[in-house]
Amino acid sequence: MANVVVVGAQWGDEGKGKIVDWLSERADVIVRFQGGHNAGHTLVIDGKVYKLSLLPSGILRKGKLAVIGNGVVLDPWAFVEELAKLRGQGVEIDTHNLMIAENAALILPIHGELDRAREAVNSIAKIGTTGRGIGPAYEDKVGRRAIRVADLADEKTLDLRIERLLTHHNALRNGLGLEEIDPVALKAQLLEIAPSILPFAAPVWKVLNEKRKAGKRILFEGAQGSLLDVDFGTYPFVTSSSTTAGMASTGTGVGPGAIDFVLGIVKAYTTRVGEGPFACELFDEVGEHLGRVGRETGTVTGRARRCGWFDAVLVRQTCAISGMNGIAFTKLDVLDGLKELKICVGYMLDGKRLDYLPTAADQQARVEPIYETMKGWSESTVGARSWNDLPAEAIKYVRRVEELIECPVAMLSTSPEREDTILVTDPFAD
Active site residues: 13, 41
**Rg (Cα) of the chain, in Å, rounded?**
22
Closest alpha carbon to 396 in 341, 323, 328: 341
Q: Which amino acid is at 34?
A: Q
Cα–Cα distance for residue pair 111/293, rounded to 1 Å: 36
Cα–Cα distance for residue pair 176/249, rounded to 1 Å: 37
How many C-beta atoms surround the C-beta of residue 108 within 10 A?
Answer: 25
Q: At what angle do helices 183-197 and 155-175 cross, to 10 degrees?
A: 130
Cα–Cα distance for residue pair 359/414, rounded to 1 Å: 34
Kindly report the three-state secondary structure assignment for every residue of the chain.
CCCEEEEECCCCCCCHHHHHHHHHCCCCEEEECCECCCCCEEEEECCEEEEECCCCHHHHCCCCEEEECCCEEECHHHHHHHHHHHHHCCCCCCCCCEEEECCCEECCHHHHHHHHHHHHHCCCCCCCCCCCCHHHHHHHHHCCCCCEHHHHHCHHHHHHHHHHHHHHHHHHHHHCCCCCCCHHHHHHHHHHHHHHHHHHEECHHHHHHHHHHCCCCEEEECCCCHHHCCCCCCCCCCCCCCCCCCHHHHCCCCCHHHCCEEEEEEECCEEECCCCCCCCECCCHHHHHHHHHCCCECCCCCCECEEECEEHHHHHHHHHHHCCCEEEEECHHHHCCCCEEEEEEEEEECCEEECCCCCCHHHHHHCEEEEEEEECCCCCCCCCCCHHHCCHHHHHHHHHHHHHHCCCEEEEECCCECCCEEECCCCCCC
Cα–Cα distance for residue pair 308/341, rounded to 1 Å: 11
